[in-house]
Amino acid sequence: MMPEPDGDKRAAASLAALQRGCGGGPKLVAVLAARLLVTLAQEAGGGLDLEVMALLLDAAGEQQSEVLAGKALALAAAAAAAGGRGQALTPAARQLLRYLSITATDNPVAALRNAAFLSLDAVLSALQVDARLQAMEGLLDSSAPALAAALLPRLARDAVAAWPVAPGEPGGPEWGALRPHLLPAVIAWLDPDGMHGWRASPGLAASADPAAAALNLLLFLLGREARASTNVTGVRSVAALQDMEARCLAPLRAAAGRAAAAAQAQNGRCEDGAADEGALALARLLEVLACVSAVADRERRLLAAHKC
């Protein structure tokens, strides 16, 4: 017998209410209710409502229940995969993405953080391209650098899938929607005073990973454009590369060098001499920055020689 249309929502709402009244101890009711929701989802052919999963993640976050979070993440990924592509960004989907992003960045269990990232990626894949870009913009505006570092490579993967096969082809609707967002996403993180500029709080050390992800996206765009001798994203021209060097790469190079030297000096004063995560992130950033700078300089010289 199929469950009533709102039966799973009522079960999830009851779960959330029960969770809020159970205190901080182990939650047998959470496990039982999560299993109930899994059963409901299976009986409904995997069609568990996104609102239910959002409620489930909400309850898991409030009660710090790893079991409940794990069940919710599994349901989120399965439902997104079952739904296919082309879904709209409904309020429930937006709410679910918010809870997934919180789990992915704040949960103390690394396995659950990783699962949340995978579930979030699956939900994004189920959205139509305009809705996906809108959702990603909202997620990138969050104050979680780790989330941005994971989402920026997603833009590159989407670009690979949508990029026109032959130079000069206009591409499909997905490419038309995606292309205008690629270079601005790079600049937003690399420009020190950009939308996500690293000059403001919390500073470059905290923004090193998303800045490195933005550099990798820039490297991908330059490489793809160079191989086809095109400039469809606006990144491969003498003027664009000169502006990128002056506005983004040179300030980032100087600031990252200073920050890395300061972190190294600080680590040298520590008894064990071990580098902290911030110092390691800065080292990764400088490594990617050196590679990008070399490629950008080479392309600028080649284009200048051909007066492009």
pLDDT tens digits, one per residue of 250-280: 999 999 999 999 888 877 666 554 457 888 9
| Beta partners for residue 273, in sequence order | none
Q: What contacts 86, CB < 8 A, 6 or more positions away?
A: 126, 127, 128
pLDDT at 58: 66
Least confident of 81-90, 104-113, 157-166, 192-201: 81-90
Least confident of 57-61, 167-171, 189-193: 57-61
Distance separating alpha carbons of residues 53 and 32, to the nearest angstrom? 15
Q: Which of 143, 226, 149, 214 is nearest to 184 (CA)?
A: 214
What mean pLDDT is predicted for residues 214-223?
Answer: 98
Question: Does the structure show a pLDDT above 90 at 153?
Answer: yes
Structure-token match 């040298």, residue found? 268
User: Between these two residues, 201 and 140, which has the higher pLDDT value?
Assistant: 140
Least confident of 62-76, 110-124, 184-198, 279-293: 62-76
Distance separating alpha carbons of residues 108 and 194, to the nearest angstrom? 31
Structure-token match 């929701």, residue found? 37
- CB-count burial class (<10 Å; 0-12, 13-18, 19+) for 119: buried
| Beta partners for residue 87, in sequence order | 127
In this structure, which long-range contacts are made by residues 116-119, counting pairs with CB atoms below 8 Å and at least 24 apart in sequence?
Answer: 116/69, 116/73, 117/150, 118/73, 118/77, 119/73, 119/74, 119/76, 119/77, 119/80
